[in-house]
Amino acid sequence: MDEAQTTPGNTIDLQAPENQAEHQVTLTLGQIKLIEMLIEANLQPKGYEMIKLVYELFERLQVETTESEEEEDTKEAFD
């Protein structure tokens, strides 16, 4: 029995072509931090592919948060 049969509606086919395509989204720093908090508190990935997906998502969000905070610091330094 595969995971899709045991938990209907709670799975994502990570190998599906539409789930492999990258999209660009514009978020505020606060929205990024909220998403990070939700992931950290609520996500319990199971299986290698889901763990990999969550890890990569967390990495991308943290990089974006760090870059935004560095830009703010630079702005403040020159103001």
- Domain boundaries, given as residue ranges, for the chain: 13-78
pLDDT at residue 20, rounded to an integer = 86
Looking at residue 15, its pLDDT comes to 82
- Segments in 1-79 forming alpha helices (H): 3-6, 17-20, 29-42, 48-78
Distance CA 8, CA 14 (A): 15
Helix, strand, coil shares, percent, the chain, to 5: 65, 0, 35
Confidence band, pLDDT 50/70/90 cuts, at residue 25: confident
pTM for the model:
0.57
% of the chain exceeding 70 in pLDDT: 75
Task: Give the pLDDT score at 61.
Answer: 84
Contact 45, 53 (CB under 8 A): yes
Is residue 29 within 8 A of residue 68, CB to CB? The reply is yes
User: Quick one: average pLDDT of 2-31?
Assistant: 76
pLDDT of residue 57: 87
